[in-house]
């Protein structure tokens, strides 16, 4: 255990001196913060307009031949009759304000939902949701690179020749990647908190409280579920990198499978009815179900469609054990050659 802990520490020493993990983290932050700021701008747009009404450019138009223009409700409230043509009767103003009130009542819910999306703790749910999808792609690249590069550079030999041991070496790699994923999600969480505080400072709160805000426990659960959903895919990409002894192959297979599963799943599901049952046990579908987010590779198949959390967790545990087992067994049995370029 001490050896593994030491290896994790020194793997991190090595990893943090590379550009790759920081670039990947940059992408992760970029995409996750989009959740906060797109929500912020949508909310502001909705709020500032406050609804619109059609106003005629002439006071009396019995034959309806006059021109109409759109006036925002907020302008109508601010400018009052100045926003209307001269000599407009007070009834027109009353009628337009009534229309605005009606719109405001419908918007209240939308505004509240939008506000919850970029304020804490709802913003964390949105950020982790995106991170669960993008993070899987980025972790595929990182895992394949972390394991495959030792084959490519020929550094596997000097590492193992130090008496490191094959099992501790591979365990150390996997644990370091899990720790890196945990750290990256932590950074996403921290930056999201910061973003939310800034956004809340700028934005005005919506009138009234129409919906129930997310609970902090939901955010914590999203964090844990997102991180846990990374584990089987780290095992999968790691296994491919070990079997092929190549970072490039690890990335190619990892990314291809990510997108191919939903396409092939949909195709085969359409052709064979029995495949829908098999499909419930496929890797990415279960990862989506566990993460509770929306994954690009799912082709719009929202999480947890018909796979329960318990089933997803069980299936992914089996996947993780099986994939890690294959990787370890293969790694222990094989001879270690020099650099493969």
Partner 1 sequence: MSTTDNGILEIVLEINNLTKYYGPVVAVEGLSLQIARGGVFGLLGPNGSGKTTTIGMVLGLVNPTRGSMRLFGQDVSGTTHRSALRRIGAMVESPAFYPYLSGRDNLRYFQGIGKGDGPQEVDQLLDLVDLSHRADSKYHTYSMGMKQRLGIAYAMLGDPELVFLDEPTNGLDPSGVAEVRDLIRRLGANGRTVVLSSHLLFEVEQVCDSVAILSRVRLITQGKVRDLLAQQDGVRLKATDQEEAQRILGTLKWVSGVRIENGYLVPEVPPERSGDLTKALSEQGVYVTEMSPVQISLERFFLEVTDDQVTSTLTEGVRS
Task: Single out the segment in contact with partner 1 by CB under 8 A; choices: 15-23, 26-34, 73-81, 236-244.
Answer: 15-23
Regarding 161 and contact with partner 1 (CB under 8 A), the answer is yes
What letter does residue 60 receive in the DSSP assignment? -
Residue 52's H or E segment, with its range, is: strand 52-56
Q: How far is the CB of 14 from partner 1 (least distance, A)?
A: 6
Q: Are 178 and 231 in contact (CB under 8 A)?
A: yes
Residue 165's H or E segment, with its range, is: none
The nearer residue to partner 1, 86 or 161, going by C-beta atoms, is 161
Site map (CB under 8 A) of partner 1, residues 18-37, x = contact: xx------------------
The nearer residue to partner 1, 62 or 341, going by C-beta atoms, is 341
Structure tokens at 316: 């992914």
Question: Cα 173 to chain center, whole Å?
Answer: 24
What letter does residue 72 receive in the DSSP assignment? E
Select from 62, 90, 163, 341 the one that contacts partner 1 (CB under 8 A).
163
Select from 66, 183, 325, 338 the one that contacts partner 1 (CB under 8 A).
338
The nearer residue to partner 1, 154 or 269, going by C-beta atoms, is 154
Contact residues for 4 (Cβ-Cβ < 8 A; gap 6+): 168, 171, 172, 175
Contact residues for 89 (Cβ-Cβ < 8 A; gap 6+): 59
Question: Cα 324 to chain center, whole Å?
Answer: 25
Structure tokens at 274: 């029995």
User: Within 89-148, which residues bind partner 1 (CB under 8 A)?
Assistant: none
Site map (CB under 8 A) of partner 1, residues 231-260, x = contact: ------------------------------
Q: How far is the CB of 330 from partner 1 (least distance, A)?
A: 13
The nearer residue to partner 1, 15 or 136, going by C-beta atoms, is 15
Q: How far is the CB of 333 from partner 1 (least distance, A)?
A: 7
Q: Are 297 and 258 in contact (CB under 8 A)?
A: yes
Regarding 158 and contact with partner 1 (CB under 8 A), the answer is yes
Structure tokens at 9: 């520490």
Residue 246's H or E segment, with its range, is: none
Select from 2, 13, 67, 201 the one that contacts partner 1 (CB under 8 A).
13
The nearer residue to partner 1, 14 or 69, going by C-beta atoms, is 14
Regarding 153 and contact with partner 1 (CB under 8 A), the answer is yes
How far apart (Å, rounded) are the C-alpha atoms in residues 193 and 124?
7
Burial of 48 from C-beta contacts in 10 A (0-12 / 13-18 / 19+): exposed
Structure tokens at 148: 């495959």
Judged by DSSP in three states, 69 sits in: strand
Task: Single out the segment in contact with partner 1 by CB under 8 A; choices: 103-111, 137-145, 162-170, 210-218.
Answer: 162-170
The nearer residue to partner 1, 9 or 70, going by C-beta atoms, is 9
What is the torsion angle, in degrees rounded to the nearest 10, for the CA atoms of residue 76, residue 82, residue 84 and residue 88? Answer: 120
The nearer residue to partner 1, 104 or 153, going by C-beta atoms, is 153
Select from 74, 164, 211, 317 the one that contacts partner 1 (CB under 8 A).
164
| Binding residue count for partner 1, defined by CB under 8 A | 26
Task: Single out the segment in contact with partner 1 by CB under 8 A; choices: 114-122, 157-165, 202-210, 248-256.
Answer: 157-165
What letter does residue 308 receive in the DSSP assignment? -
Select from 34, 71, 110, 159 the one that contacts partner 1 (CB under 8 A).
159
Q: What does the binding site for partner 1 look like in residue numbers (CB under 8 A)?
A: 6-7, 9-10, 13-14, 17-19, 153-155, 157-165, 333, 335-336, 338-339
């Amino acid at each position: 255990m001490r050896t593994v802990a030491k290896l994790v520490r020194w793997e991190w020493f090595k990893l943090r001196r590379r550009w790759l993990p920081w670039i990947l983290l940059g992408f992760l932050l970029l995409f996750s913060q989009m959740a906060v700021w797109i929500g912020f701008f949508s909310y502001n747009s909705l709020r500032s307009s406050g609804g619109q009404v059609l106003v005629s450019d002439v006071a009396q138009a019995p034959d309806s031949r006059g021109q109409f223009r759109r006036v925002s409700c907020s302008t109508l409230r601010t400018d009052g009759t100045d926003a209307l043509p001269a000599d407009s009767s007070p009834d027109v103003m009353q009628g337009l304000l009534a229309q605005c009130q009606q719109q405001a009542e419908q918007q209240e819910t939308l505004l509240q939902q939008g506000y919850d999306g970029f304020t804490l703790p709802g913003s964390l749910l949105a950020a982790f949701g995106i991170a669960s999808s993008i993070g899987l792609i980025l972790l595929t690249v990182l895992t394949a690179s972390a394991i495959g590069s030792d084959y490519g550079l020929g550094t596997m030999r000097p590492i193992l020749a130090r008496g490191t041991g094959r099992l501790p070496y591979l365990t150390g790699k996997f644990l370091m990647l899990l720790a890196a994923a945990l750290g990256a999600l932590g950074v996403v969480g921290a930056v999201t908190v910061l973003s939310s505080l800034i956004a809340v400072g700028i934005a005005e709160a919506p009138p009234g409280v129409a919906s129930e805000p997310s609970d902090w426990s939901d955010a914590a659960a999203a964090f844990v579920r997102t991180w846990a959903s990374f584990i089987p895919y780290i095992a999968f990409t790691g296994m491919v990198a070990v079997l092929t002894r190549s970072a490039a192959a690890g990335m190619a297979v990892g990314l291809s499978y990510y997108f191919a599963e939903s396409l092939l799943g949909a195709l085969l599901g359409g052709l064979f009815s029995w495949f829908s049952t098999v499909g419930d046990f496929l890797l990415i579908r279960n990862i989506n179900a566990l993460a509770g987010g929306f994954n690009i590779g799912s082709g719009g198949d929202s999480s947890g469609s018909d796979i329960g959390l318990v089933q997803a967790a069980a299936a992914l545990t089996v996947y993780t054990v099986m994939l890690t087992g294959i990787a370890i067994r293969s790694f222990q049995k094989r001879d270690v050659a020099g650099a493969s370029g």
